[in-house]
Amino acid sequence: SYVLSQQEFVDRHSLTYPFEERGLQFGDGVYEVIRVYNGDYYLKKEHVDRLFRSAEAVKIKLPFTKEELDANLRQLLSQNNVTDDAKVYLQATRGSATRDHAFPTVEANFYAYVEDLPRPEDKLRNGVSAILRPDERWQNCYIKSLNLLPNVLAKQEAKEHGAYEAILHRDEKVTECSSSNIYIVKKGTVYTHPETNQILHGCVRGRIKQLACQDNIPFVEAAFSVAQLMDADEVFVTSSTSEVMPIVHIEDQRIGDGKPGPITCKLQHAYAADAK
Ligand code: PDD
């Protein structure tokens, strides 16, 4: 298969980097994950815009324009004959140079590749469980940075507990999850953390807000507490890979009646129709 490297397409086995690479040595880079349904990108513009925002926030100059990236991403799917459900991973780092914390004067490194990814249908239907952990990340979580150690450690703990996600909270306020945004439903109203620097501004989150509005589902962007989370009628998370995923169990407690709730199901249907 072919991967996009800078602005060229190369065989995936021929792409290598020097060991003195800023992403490898410092986590000095940003990334994106874009969903593909039936061979077509979903929310591509939103992801491309966010990649450029993340890069700008950490002063990485991408060696192409949005229009060039857009065309290359299209070609990535056609070169690989993608016609099914997949995801594309994109990564930009500050480049390859002798190790020094301060910026080198080299071009940024960029690559993108596509990988098959079926929809998580069983989990979407039945719901999944989650654990609760303190949010130990930095103060700039709106940047989709490669520094994922807190997220990796939280997700591994979830896995070891047989759970799907780790829900994160700062001083009892729920922010988001290790790799998704989180929502509660109480008396028919959806609540989710506002788009501050404490969460990633999820592309699916942005779309779900619009879809809720179209379906006349009240949508409130306000932080909720761990106590409100545990007392919610419904809980769900969203991301490009998880879609609209019901959380039916948190730590030792069942949420609602332990099945995906009506508002969650409504938003799942709206999402599925939108992503088609
Ligand atoms: N994660 N919050 C965090 C911390 C994330 O890492 C992600 C995405 C999201 C949801 O963003 P979006 O709706 O734009 O996918 C929220 C990707 C899928 C990942 O790291 O694999």
C-alpha 241 to ligand 1 mean position (Å) = 8
* Segments in the chain below pLDDT 50: none
CATH topology of domain 121-275: D-amino Acid Aminotransferase; Chain A, domain 2 (3.20.10)
Based on the residue annotation, tell me whether 144 is a catalytic residue of this protein.
Answer: yes
The kind and range of the H/E element at 203 are helix 203-214
Whether the pTM exceeds 0.90: the reply is yes
The fold adopted by the segment(s) 2-116 is D-amino Acid Aminotransferase; Chain A, domain 1 (3.30.470)
Active-site pick, 144, 155, 209, 276: 144
Give the model's pLDDT for residue 48.
98
Contacts of 82 (CB under 8 A, 6+ apart): 36, 39, 114
pLDDT tens digits, 118-164: 999 999 999 999 999 999 999 999 999 999 999 999 999 999 999 99
Q: Whose CA is nearest to atom 19 of ligand 1?
A: 179
- CB of 175 shorter than 6 A to ligand 1: no
Residue 17, C-beta contacts closer than 8 angstroms, at least 6 positions apart: 23, 24, 96, 109
What is the enclosing helix (H) or strand (E) of 166?
A: strand 165-170
CA angle 50, 27, 145 (to 5 degrees): 20
Q: How far from the centroid of its chain's Cα atoms is residue 117's Cα? A: 14
Query: For atom 4 of ligand 1, which residue has the closest CA?
Result: 179
* pLDDT (0 to 100) of residue 264: 98
> Helix count (H) and strand count (E) of the chain?
8, 15
CATH fold match for the domains 2-116 and 121-275: no
Domain boundaries, the chain: 2-116, 121-275
User: Token pair for residue 87?
Assistant: 């995801």
